[in-house]
């Protein structure tokens, strides 16, 4: 029998994607990107802080091409529910003109974040722009956006771990877990 997992946060309900499954999938994504960017000499992984950090740093080590990384800090105005208003708190440093950019985020929910950042980046005339997300919640999409590289599609759960947070907690978990706010309260 598996030893009972002890969760370091009381709001965790259950593991929905294991550490091993994440590792396998990230490796596959890295292989796909390596193939697709075989001819690229200017590949930039552009991560959205802070959620994409764990994913990006694992993914970059599975890509067998020269690359650089950069980040943007963006937030949705509304705290719990995504709103259409996305604020750029810190911009990337690299001049992306002529670069092959892969925009990397932890999870696509409404799609507003990716849509907004994508539009902004396209105005800066990269050579190409693709989107890579670890997770997607298709039931929650409010706008249509392309996801060129996707880790996993999940149902409409709120999840934490592997970079994703609930109120800034849970980012350090090596797996993806759903949360239950009633848990640990009785």
Catalytic residues: 109
What number of helices (H) and strands (E) belong to the chain? 3, 9
Q: Which does 158 bind (CB under 5 to 8 A by kind): ligand IMP, Mg ion, none?
A: ligand IMP
Q: Of 30, 47, 51, 151, which lies in the binding site for ligand IMP, with binding defined by CB under 6 A?
A: 51
Structure token pair of residue 36: 């697709």
Q: Which is nearer to ligand IMP, 37 or 109 (CB)?
A: 109
- Give the Cα separation of 28 and 24 in Å (integer): 6
- Segment interacting with ligand IMP (CB under 6 A) among 20-28, 64-72, 101-109, 117-125: 101-109
Q: Of 22, 59, 101, 109, which lies in the binding site for ligand IMP, with binding defined by CB under 6 A?
A: 109
Q: Which is nearer to Mg ion, 51 or 111 (CB)?
A: 51
Binding of Mg ion at residue 51 (CB under 5 A)?
A: yes
**Sign (positive or negative) of CA dihedral 73, 79, 83, 87:** negative
User: What DSSP designation does 2 have?
Assistant: P
Binding of ligand IMP at residue 111 (CB under 6 A)?
A: yes
Instruction: Report how far apart, in Å, the C-alpha atoms of 161 and of each of 11, 62, 93, 131, 175 are.
Output: 12, 20, 27, 21, 6
Nearest by Cα to 69 from 160, 145, 19, 132: 132
Q: Of 44, 96, 108, 134, which lies in the binding site for ligand IMP, with binding defined by CB under 6 A?
A: 108
Q: Of 45, 121, 159, 177, which lies in the binding site for ligand IMP, with binding defined by CB under 6 A?
A: 159
Binding site for Mg ion (CB under 5 A): 51
């Amino acid at each position: 029998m598996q030893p009972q997992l002890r969760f370091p946060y009381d709001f965790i309900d259950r593991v929905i994607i294991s550490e091993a499954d994440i590792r396998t999938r990230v490796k596959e994504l890295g292989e796909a990107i390596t193939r697709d960017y075989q001819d690229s000499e200017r590949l930039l992984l552009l991560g959205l802080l802070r959620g994409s950090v764990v994913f990006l740093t694992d993914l970059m080590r599975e890509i067998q091409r020269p690359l650089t990384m950069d980040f943007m800090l963006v937030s949705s105005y509304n705290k719990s529910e995504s709103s259409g208003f996305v604020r750029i708190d810190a911009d990337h440093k690299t001049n992306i003109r002529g670069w092959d950019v892969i925009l990397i985020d932890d999870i696509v929910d409404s799609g507003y974040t990716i849509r907004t950042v994508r539009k902004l980046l396209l105005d800066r005339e990269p050579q190409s722009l693709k989107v890579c997300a670890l997770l997607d919640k298709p039931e929650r999409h409010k706008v249509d956006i392309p996801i060129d590289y996707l880790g996993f599609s999940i149902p409409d759960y709120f999840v934490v771990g592997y970079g994703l947070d609930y109120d800034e907690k849970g980012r350090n978990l090596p797996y993806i877990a759903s949360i239950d706010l009633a848990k640990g309260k009785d």
